[in-house]
Amino acid sequence: MKLQALSQSLVLLSAVVPLGLAAPTGNADSGSNPPLRASNEALVGYSSSEKTNSGPPPDLKYKFVPGQKEDPDVGSYLDFEKADNPQPIRGTTGGDDPGPRNYNYDKINSDKLAPPGTDSGQTINAQWPLGLSRTRLGLERSGWARQENTVVMPDATEMAGVDMRLEPAGYRELHWHVAGEWSLVLNGSCRIQAVNEDGQTFIDDVKAGDVWFFPPGIPHSIQALDDGVEFLLVFDDGDFSEDNTFLASEVFLHSPKEVLAKDLGVPISAFDKIPDDELYIFKGTPAPKDIEKQNVTTASGVIPRTQSYSYHFSEQPAHHVEGGTVKIVDPQTFPIANNFSAAIVTVSPGGMREIHWHPTSDEWTFFIRGQGRATLFSAPSTATTFDYRAGDVGYFPKSNSHYVENTGDEDLVFLEVLQAPQFTDMALGQWIASTPKQIIKDTLKLGDSTLEKLKTDKQYVVAGTRNKESH
């Protein structure tokens, strides 16, 4: 509100005194440099009538994009990306915007600038572009990481996420954490290894499309193979921070050397060369191609297959539905990740992940490719529509309904992650179609011909076409 008032007064002021807001010229002549504060003539009621005449309103030049003039409740996606001067107008609602404004945000967030008429009130913020997170840079060009957690999405309490890149031979240092770590490999490949409480060992190579899980407290490491790797980490705690993990270097740095020597049964001099700071992300010796060379087997044996920390999800073919594809991995097939259920959804252009909600968990979403929009509906009557791009995080609280519509010209690919032992959702269409018709007619006043068309099977992703006709 204050900002709006300020911008209005700036517009008035600049109309009255065109140069009043010009940047300082650097002229050292104090005679021509106005003082920091003006006189009290600017107080309301003290200025002359000539000065308050701000002239005609600015004549803004803009064009409407397809869908912008229709009834706001139709709420079509407005493609502002190539629009010259997009305006906060839908149908007969809104008005033009002379600025100040950042066109880059407005062009890719048309549902924020000119929301559908069905949006209402204020929901939680369900979007965080990782492009707005500070990137933590690794040593010697070895990689980087950036994260989303409750610092930037205060209501995303159940899960947090990290996008991490390791260049070839780059390591994510040996470490452990209080949270459980679920991961989807996004690009390239890496070698992961861990040791559990019983001394059983685990090592595997994973590639784009595979997933892994490390339970709380289990120390592990990740090293990129020849093609480097990028992966997404999802933690079962919204407060998680990558900056607060237990690193191998730090546990050695913060234990007295006398204690380390006693603990490991070696002389104190053994620790002369330990790093004097954390390594976190750093370059290493390339991993041997043959994984057997790094397969440490002890009397405790290896971690049994049923408890494997990785699942080669890339090998699972996608299930086809009308508007795209869906793949699910949950504890039914990947038991060690006993509270992580996930789906990778592909939505063809014009298609849409159907309106649904998750009865058992919040949903943490990551956009992998393309662009889409979603409306978060929260009881009783608030709704916000968010526009997402690859690299954005989304968040939909338990039982809050949402859809994800492809708003681009290429496939939209995204990940849904739940904190639940099984991936489940309630689909609006299936619910309505499977309810006695009379109840639906009495409640929603839908006609018989509409009721005949409703499908009782779950659609997951529906097909459609993009709104492109011009207005």
Ligand X SMILES: *[C@@H]1O[C@H](CO)[C@@H](O)[C@H](O)[C@H]1NC(C)=O
Q: Which is nearer to ligand X, 292 or 448 (CB)?
A: 292
- Is 363 an interacting residue with respect to ligand X (CB under 6 A)? no
80 closest CA partner among 92, 95, 63: 63
Which of 16, 302, 426, 451 is in the footprint of ligand X by CB under 6 A? Answer: 302
Among the listed ranges 137-145, 212-220, 262-270, 287-295, the one in contact with ligand X (CB under 6 A) is 287-295
- Is 178 an interacting residue with respect to ligand X (CB under 6 A)? no
Among the listed ranges 9-17, 43-51, 264-272, 288-296, the one in contact with ligand X (CB under 6 A) is 288-296
Site string for ligand X, 399-428 (x = CB under 6 A): --------------------x-x-------
Distance CA 69, CA 421 (A): 46
Q: How far is CA 149 from CA 128, 129, 145, 235, 239, in A?
A: 9, 12, 13, 9, 6
- Is 295 an interacting residue with respect to ligand X (CB under 6 A)? yes
Going by the annotation, the residues of the binding site for Mn(2+) are 175, 177, 181, 220, 356, 358, 363, 402
Which of the residues 142 through 171 are near ligand X (CB under 6 A)? 158
Strand (E) positions, 32-180? 89-90, 93-94, 127-129, 136-137, 143-148, 160-166, 170-176
Give the nearest distance from C-beta 211 to ligand X in angstroms. 15
Q: How far is CA 392 from CA 55, 183, 371, 413, in A?
A: 43, 16, 10, 12
C-beta neighbour count of 122 within 10 angstroms: 10
- Is 204 an interacting residue with respect to ligand X (CB under 6 A)? yes
Give the nearest distance from C-beta 240 to ligand X in angstroms. 12
Q: Which is nearer to ligand X, 368 or 376 (CB)?
A: 368
Which of 10, 108, 208, 440 is in the footprint of ligand X by CB under 6 A? Answer: 208
Asked if 327 and 316 count as a contact pair (C-beta separation under 8 A), the reply is yes
Is 278 one of the annotated active-site residues of the chain? Answer: no
Reported for 296-303, long-range contacts at CB under 8 A and 24+ positions apart, including other chains, are: 296/201, 296/203, 297/201, 298/199, 298/201, 299/199, 300/198, 300/199, 300/200, 300/201, 301/200, 301/201, 302/200, 302/201, 302/202, 303/194, 303/196, 303/200, 303/201, 303/202
- Is 225 an interacting residue with respect to ligand X (CB under 6 A)? no
Which of 187, 399, 424, 435 is in the footprint of ligand X by CB under 6 A? Answer: 187
Which of 65, 83, 89, 203 is in the footprint of ligand X by CB under 6 A? Answer: 203
**Active site residue: 197, 315, 416, 469, which one?**
416
Give the nearest distance from C-beta 304 to ligand X in angstroms. 10
Strand (E) positions, 177-250? 181-195, 201-207, 211-214, 220-235, 246-247
- Is 195 an interacting residue with respect to ligand X (CB under 6 A)? no
In the three-class reduction of DSSP (H, G, I as helix; E, B as strand; rest coil), residue 304 is classed as coil
Binding residues for ligand X, rule: CB under 6 A, are 158, 187, 203-204, 208, 291-292, 295, 297, 302, 338-339, 419, 421
Active-site residues, by number, are 416
